[in-house]
Structure 1
């Protein structure tokens, strides 16, 4: 296995299509941000290229697609995505879990029930998503590098993003690729399986939800036990991602995905740990040894690059990094970078 220091996170390019497609086939379903469909991935890469190229104008539809590259082999081994603002071009739907209470004077009892209400409460929020690491690279902290690189990108382009950031975690999906939540609720109205709806959403967007989804609140007690058990629960493969989000300051605020019931995590962008604790500095020299293990990012928009390295602080706003890292990031003494301790 290659050293984690040999990996960088960079802007995805159109010529990454073939490698992204091969990775998309490994996601196992329920991963709408990385569909195993060449046309959909091509459109996503084009949209990302447009966002990276834009320096002004409306940011509502901006999608920034990042790629994890092994600099020794040139292979793309992971992806991560940032959406500047959801719900601006088309609605962004969630279910909000609420408690509804009623009192009976005759029985002298209060009855409480949990209900699911269809909302667009997250309109205008930024979103981090699409985090996928190749199964052969799930060691050495590369998932952490991918995840936190997004926050360094946000911090370096703060004006492009909102006040709140969300992350949707994939819900519980069974071995056959089905969802008990979907089958019990939305599947009753759409006449298609979870896999079919998931694929359609990935390729065509979710306007069909607005057309067909029931708008009235749903009493959770009326759902089958199998569906109730998975509401707000992440897929087993997403538990580590949920812990990473919690360490960054995200929390679950009773919003769940309308497809699989997975939890939506939220945070104030300026309170996200990697944003709040990141610092700008100038590279003083490239001879550092035995420093503080950190993430270092450089470049704006298409030139953005982020990697692990050891840094030595030289005063309040200068750092030293190893020569190897300088080569990986394509920086020289005098360059401005943003860093945060691992």
Structure 2
């Protein structure tokens, strides 16, 4: 059984392996031992804090195969982005250049650099090892964050965003970055991506063009990938879109991948989740759910079959599931249908 739980210091080797396997463009998990250890410490401190409003907390969780005793993935939430380190993005907009006298009317797109998502919560750092990308594992790893956020909304912002990885090849070359590099940055995409991952974002404000960029001036290759996602990111984007996330015209500054957003209370897995009292025992139900306990520091989430009685607000779960969730008879759990 796959169980989601908060990360601990003992998970460092597994998280490093996830960082190494995630590839180029996975900015939130760079291959840097000092940074990874810092992320783990920050997460442990964040889970231990008493919080009434979202701040700089970062919550990092891992997916553990309980049978193999092996960490196979990771997922995370930033409570409020842009408060300690700037969160930059492009806003894609349109302007009209027209002349009645000449009968000319042109609509052109602009990329405007800014910090529009400051203070929003971000779901991030989603990675699952390839051999586990089957069944409900991916949905559990992504949606467990919404079970947590719905149960503890005071810790998160009204708006939730997700910055999706943009288009790049296996060597880490981004068509969008190639144009930026030629005109403004003069460093490789992988280097810039790494600097952002380790929190060294000062060069962005120093070198990024301050005035809006006319999209028509970019290379054809760069224009073609604006708002497009990396091939490996498409399943994650589809899942978020089913949850109600949409693109409001924002893109990442390096690879131009889309940034999608949704109000926390409008996320499908928040809106349709419900509570039940636990009954432990065998059952024959075939109904599949994502389930979490209602604790925070000891948060646990799993996926599986549950016999739900909505009239009595009871849910019968197996002993294995109860042990994974660390719940007993009579405890409350949060569920959402898969």
Contact 2:181-2:188 at 8 Å conserved across structures: no
Q: What corresponds to 2:334 in structure 1?
A: 338
Q: Distance in 1 between matches of 2:33 and 2:79?
A: 23
For residues 83-111 of structure 1, the C-alpha deviation after alignment (integer angstroms, 9 at most, x for no partner) is 10111123211101100102112212211
Q: Distance in 2 between matches of 1:8 and 1:271?
A: 26
How far did residue 134 of structure 1 move?
A: 0.6
Q: Distance in 1 between matches of 2:205 and 2:9?
A: 32
Q: What corresponds to 2:109 in structure 1?
A: 114
Contact 1:152-1:275 at 8 Å conserved across structures: yes
Q: What corresponds to 1:30 in structure 2?
A: 25
Q: Which moved more, 1:226-235 or 1:119-128?
A: 119-128
Contact 2:76-2:145 at 8 Å conserved across structures: yes
Contact 2:294-2:334 at 8 Å conserved across structures: no
Contact 2:308-2:316 at 8 Å conserved across structures: yes
TM-score by length of 2: 0.96
Q: Which moved more, 1:218-227 or 1:328-337?
A: 328-337
Q: Distance in 1 between matches of 2:296 and 2:273?
A: 18
Q: Distance in 1 between matches of 2:312 and 2:263?
A: 27
Question: Unpaired segments of 5 or more residues in structure 2?
Answer: none
Q: Distance in 2 between matches of 1:187 and 1:34?
A: 26
Q: What corresponds to 1:301 in structure 2?
A: 296
1:260 aligns to 2:255 (yes or no): yes
Contact 1:296-1:306 at 8 Å conserved across structures: yes
Select the residue among 151, 154, 157 that pairs with 2:149: 154
Contact 1:286-1:333 at 8 Å conserved across structures: no
TM-score by length of 1: 0.95
Select the residue among 67, 83, 90 that pairs with 1:88: 83
What do you get for the CA RMSD once the two structures are aligned? 1.4
Q: What corresponds to 2:322 in structure 1?
A: 326
Q: Distance in 2 between matches of 1:261 and 1:102?
A: 25
Q: Distance in 2 between matches of 1:316 and 1:220?
A: 58
Q: Distance in 2 between matches of 1:63 and 1:79?
A: 13
Q: Distance in 2 between matches of 1:187 and 1:213?
A: 12
Q: What corresponds to 1:73 in structure 2?
A: 68
Q: Distance in 2 between matches of 1:186 and 1:215?
A: 15
Q: What corresponds to 2:240 in structure 1?
A: 245
The 3 A distance-change label for structure 1 pair 251 and 8 is same
Q: Distance in 2 between matches of 1:279 and 1:288?
A: 20
Question: Unpaired segments of 5 or more residues in structure 1?
Answer: 1-5
Q: What corresponds to 2:272 in structure 1?
A: 277
Contact 1:90-1:207 at 8 Å conserved across structures: no
Q: Which moved more, 1:210-219 or 1:229-238?
A: 210-219
Q: Which moved more, 1:151-160 or 1:206-215?
A: 206-215
Contact 1:187-1:194 at 8 Å conserved across structures: no
Select the residue among 91, 94, 97 that pairs with 1:102: 97
The 3 A distance-change label for structure 1 pair 245 and 90 is same
